[in-house]
Chains A and B, each alone.
Chain A
Amino acid sequence: MIVGGALLIGATIAVLGGGLLLVLAVVTVRSRRRSRNQRDQMLLSPLRVPLITVASGEDDDGSAAEQLTWATGVTRTVLDSNIVELLTKIRGGPGDQLIRVLEVHGAVDAAVSDLTHRSSVRRARAAQLLGLARADHTVPLLVEALSDESVEVRNSAAYALGLIGDPSAAGAVLAAIGAPDRGLPAATAAEALQSMGVGISEVLREGMRDDNARTRMVAAHLSGERSFTRGLPELRHLLDHDTDLTVRETAATAIGRLGRDEDAAVLSRHTVPTEPLSLRRACVHALGELGDDTAVPTLAALLDDPDPRLAELAASALLVLGPGGGAALAGHEDDPAVRTARLMASLQKANA
């Protein structure tokens, strides 16, 4: 009983003490944030005018940028983080001037050494800074960072590589998506690859043959977005044979964007009722995008499909296929799908 009582008293004191500590923690977190913000504002205030002058592209004689390079100590740190923030929005001449300020401050060299810092936040921020500073000599280091244990660092490295835009890193970025346990998020990879120009089309073809479904999907998606027609054989293969439905739908959309006339037959094959409904819809939509009138018979047959959305998509596709498509709608004028497609098209046309 005495032991139980002592235990109870101890636990109660611990819980109440813990509660007090947590209240203190809330107060401390808020106070620290406020005082840090105030300090940053105060330190930055003398430099605000030259910073705005440079950022707005009005520093013709370079004096404002020169003034920014004089900052030292904590002021320099605060200024650099503000410059990094600005570089996410500013390009061209003003951007180059701000990068020069960072270089003079030694921020770029510091970021290179920070890439191996034990704090993942420092590593990630370093990678971002290198990208924003367009430090193309650090591409090999950033490629290495794509396999960092921290996803934030991998994300930041891919982001930086995208900003630098060196297509030689494309293979590494795409391969990083499917890395076991250390995969690169597909969205980041796609954004990075999108900035790497036309030199990545071969890498994307390779990617569409990858074992990882996410890698194949990103490669297929980008091939369509960037209209890389060299990837068409792989896209057709994905549409026909891939085990992942999302990948097949992505391939269908991409073919719709960049396919050739003969792809109408490829897409038509997958509009049959034995295929998943979402894939059939994607293919019908893609047939409309493709705009080849050899698809007219397939689309006309789908006007009677039991799925009203598929029928409406087919009607909409026929409407954009010119006179052949319009003629195929004859006899279906009273179908709700056709009437809806016509009405939607006329509303859009009237307000175009």
Chain B
Amino acid sequence: MSWDGFTDGLRSFVVWVMDVSSVPIIIYFVLINSSLLLLIGLAYLEFRAQQRRRATALTWQGAGMAPGVSLLVPAYNEEAGIVTAVKSFLTLRYPRHEVVVVDDGSSDQTFARLEEAFDLVQVPRELPAEVPIRARVLGIWVPRDGRTRLVVVRKENSGRSEAINVAINAASEPLVAMIDGDSILEPDGLLHVTRPFADDPTRMVATGGAIRPVNGSRVVSGRIVRVEMPQTWIPRIQLVEYLRAFLLGRTGWSRLGGLILISGAFGLFRRDVVVEVGGLDPGSIGEDFELVMRIHKRMRDEGRDYKVEFVPEPVSWTEVPVTAKVLRNQRRRWHRGLWETLWAYRSMLFRPKYGRIGSVALPYYWLFELIAPLLELFGILIVPLALLLGVVNVPFAILFLVLAYGYAVLVTLAAMVVDEWAFHKHDRWRAIWQTVAASVLENIGYRQLTVWWRLEGWWSSLRGKKHVWGVMTRTGFDEEAA
């Protein structure tokens, strides 16, 4: 076949593909943007309410009705920051909380550091087996002073989910907060996220708090003393993603009564409910998402009156990936987890007994979270090809691209307005311009790469490839800017 013949054939094929797909793609485009607009609208309503609450805020120190909280901290090779983290968790402003650290078979000095810092003494305690555990527990330690509310459990290495399950068994308070050992909690964070449990103690089963990237901020002794923008663009763009996801996405879903995702970096649950559903699934990649779905399913199946809420106040700060390699691994894992969980709970789709979870939230996640990268990849491939072959009107295509990506920027800017209005965490004017720039730059290269990585994660799951947990390289943040 001659080169001209090939290009003619390819041109005809591209024209045919565009003819066939243009209407569905435009419908999809309208639907996804409309749903985002709806979420923004819902988030706006919620923030108005939040703002009223803040403007009339009463000091609540959690006296009386504040339920006790066990902070569950899985730790694997965290020798660098574990002592600082535990000290900061122990000194949170809250009337009744304990810290349960599970050393998940670390090969470094994680346990030794804890033992030295808190003068730990081993207790012959047996852990309840309320949540089934496969790995062997090696021992339990408590501080010798008899009053510091810390429990350290050592176990054989078997992963984060099992470490949390062990911590659930070791926890003695009615609420359990799952947090990463490298997270930083706001001093009043627990007061914010437990408030819904105190206000509605018989119905509230889970709350999630907003998470922010800590990169670039100045941290001293496990506390943020100055919030700053990250120093490089990859974490800056993630900051923009976090703003969108937490300030618009989850706030909107919470308002709608369809919150199905509580981030693993900070989630608060009723312990008895987590035990009842069997704890985290160690075989799941998206274990946090899967747990919330399992709770929803159990509650709805049993016809129980319950609530899952999102607290938009910034509660937890976490270090986000700074290299493309680590980011790739994270995004692959997230999308794989999303797919596997959505697939596992497909039976809830459109079933009236699952209410808005089955009729709105799950279809949305299928259509606009799971499938979106597939369609975006299609666009990334077909548009340049069509431009090369001269089968599309160039100004028209450029306008369409500007509209599509401009809309994405618009959504981010809406989240920025909300953030500035409600929380104004960044003092410097420079932060505004850097955030605006990040919201534009996100669409040039970063977005396309994450589309590819997400599809890689999905594909590896479909091929039944075993997931390998990558190492999240931390740059650390103690005493200096991250």
Contacts and interface: CB of A to CB of B under 8 A. Distances in A.
B417 interface: yes
Most central of B52, B124, B172, B202 by chain A CB within 10 Å: B202
A121 B421 contact: no
Given A19-B410, A344-B123, A351 B145 contact: yes
Contact of B406 (A19, A30, A222, A350): A19
A222 B64 CA distance: 8
B146 A350 contact: yes
B407 to A, nearest CB: 5
Interface residues of A, number: 67
B403 A12 contact: yes
Interface in A228-282: 244-247, 276-278
Contacts of A11: 403
A274 to B, nearest CB: 17
Nearest to A339: B124
B370 interface: no
Interface string A322-352: 0000000000000011011001100111111
Interface stretch (A42-50, A63-71, A101-109, A183-191): A183-191
Contact of A347 (B126, B144, B414): B144
Interface stretch (B193-201, B283-291, B321-329, B348-356): B193-201
B130 interface: yes
A264 B65 CA distance: 25
B375 interface: no
A125 B400 contact: no
A152 B127 contact: no
Nearest to A334: B124
Given A22-B416, A30-B432, A121-B56, A246 B124 contact: no
B86 interface: no
A225 B64 contact: yes
A225 B63 CA distance: 11
Contacts of A351: 144-147
Nearest to B270: A246
A187 B56 CA distance: 16
B360 interface: no
Interface stretch (A53-61, A210-218, A286-294): A210-218
B311 interface: no
A75 interface: no
Contact of A221 (B65, B123, B406): B65
B436 interface: yes
Contact of B399 (A12, A29, A156, A350): A12
Contacts of A22: 410, 413-414, 416-417
A307 interface: yes
A319 to B, nearest CB: 14
5 contacts: A25-B417, A152-B52, A246-B202, A247-B202, A308-B125
Interface of B: 52-53, 55-56, 58-60, 63-66, 121, 123-128, 130, 142, 144-147, 172, 174, 195, 198-202, 272, 396, 399-400, 402-403, 406-407, 409-410, 413-414, 416-417, 420-421, 424, 429, 432, 436
